Chains A and B, each alone.
Chain A
Amino acid sequence: MNLRRSVTLWIILYIFWYILSGYHTPLLLTFGAIACTISVWIAHRMDVLDQEGNPIHLTLKIIPYWFWLGGEIIKANFELAKMLLSPKLEISPVMFKMKTELTNELDRVIYANSLTLTPITITVEQEGDELEVHALTVKAAQDILGRDMERRVKNINDGWEG
């Protein structure tokens, strides 16, 4: 398990290094490999190579979610832009606490971040399974409580326990 995480982290780091540097000479490519190896070793020693530090288990299933989230972000942005430009500024800010049904921390983080990325809602506080959310309109707040997004986040990790 840990070996798989180390290897994937090394590959990701090496791709990252290559994109940022763009070097082709064998000597520098070797140096890059050495640097990645040291980084993985440090990560291993720091004990951060867990499901939170290198979440390989959700790499594929999260891609459709990102597309869906992108669509939601675009929709919410246009809605907010319309609100901000209208002369009456029709906002009805609400702040509320809600219990989330997501059981593991990574899911909760994905959910809280998704809420913040869509402009009309932001996560103010997340403690345990309780989220405090600030929404700019009552309608957006009701959408959150409709729990559509939460279900989708749950689907990313379905069947995986950690």
Chain B
Amino acid sequence: MILDVLSWIFLLLGGAFVIIGAIGMLRLPDVFSRSHAAGMVDTFGAGMIVLGLMLQTGGINLILFKLVLILFFIFFTSPAANYALVRAALADGAKPILKEGVDLQSSEKEEGAKPL
């Protein structure tokens, strides 16, 4: 019973994050910022759903381990896919929409970064 409730909380949370990610895909301005929203869907959204399903397996069995593997592989492959996507966009000449007049480099020097 408690497991069921917990599992449903995770499933609904995951579902909510997938929807929010989709909203983000529509609202954000360019391919780079959209990939943040996409990343949210396939790490947190999918992760929460799998976690919810793990609580539905009814004890320690093979299905539980298979779900652990799915979670594991999602977390290892999604950054690679995201990276490939963004790199392809850059190679195709997509220009990111950036906020003007932000000086990050000066703060980096204060942190003691090595000089180029």
Contacts of A16 in B (CB 8 A): 69
Chain A window 112-145, contacts with chain B (Cβ cutoff 8 Å), 1 for yes, 0 for no: 1100110111111100000000101010011001
Tell me if B39 counts as interface (CB < 8 A to partner A): yes
Interface 9-mer from B1-9, B26-34, B52-60: B26-34
Most chain B CB inside 10 Å of its own CB: which residue of A74, A101, A136: A136
Distance (Å) between the CB of A34 and the closest chain B CB? 21
CB distance from A118 to the nearest CB of B (A): 8
Query: Is the pair A112, B83 in contact by a Cβ cutoff of 8 Å?
Result: yes
Chain B residues, CB < 8 A from A112: 79, 83
| Contact across chains for B44 and A124 when beta carbons are under 8 A apart | no
* Tally of contact residues, B, Cβ under 8 A: 44
A81 to B111, CA, bound (A): 30
Q: A93-B97, A93-B98, A94-B104 are in contact. Are A116 and B20 (CB under 8 A)?
A: no
Contacts of A125 in B (CB 8 A): 87, 90
CB distance from A72 to the nearest CB of B (A): 11
Q: Does B39 lie within 8 Å of A84, measured CB to CB?
A: no
- Bound CA span A93–B83, Å: 17
**Given A84-B20, A93-B96, CB of A116 within 8 Å of CB of B39:** yes
With A145-B111, A146-B111 already in contact, the answer to whether A122 and B97 are too (CB < 8 A) is no
The contact string, 1 if C-beta is below 8 Å from chain A, for chain B 79-110, is 11011001100100000111100101101100
> A104 contacts the other chain (Cβ, under 8 Å)?
no
Type the 1/0 row for A15-31, where 1 means its CB is closer than 8 Å to any CB of B: 01001101000000000
Instruction: Determine the residue in chain B with the shortest Cβ distance to A114.
Output: B79
Verify if A60 is at the interface (C-beta below 8 Å from B).
no
Decide if B43 touches A117 in the complex (CB within 8 Å). yes
Closest to B108 in A: A145
Could you give, for residues 62-99 of chain A, a 1 whenever the CB lies within 8 Å of some chain B CB and a 0 otherwise?
00000000000110010011001100010111111011
With an 8 A cutoff between CB atoms, is A147 at the interface? yes
Nearest B residue to A19, CB-CB: B65
Q: Which 5 A-B pairs have the closest CB atoms?
A: A116-B79, A84-B24, A92-B99, A113-B79, A77-B44
Q: Give 9 CB contacts A-B under 8 Å.
A: A77-B40, A84-B21, A84-B28, A93-B30, A93-B98, A94-B102, A138-B99, A145-B108, A145-B111
Apart from the given pairs A22-B62, A92-B99, A122-B32, 11 other A-B contacts in the complex at a CB distance below 8 Å = A16-B69, A19-B66, A73-B44, A77-B17, A84-B37, A93-B32, A99-B113, A117-B43, A122-B83, A122-B86, A125-B90
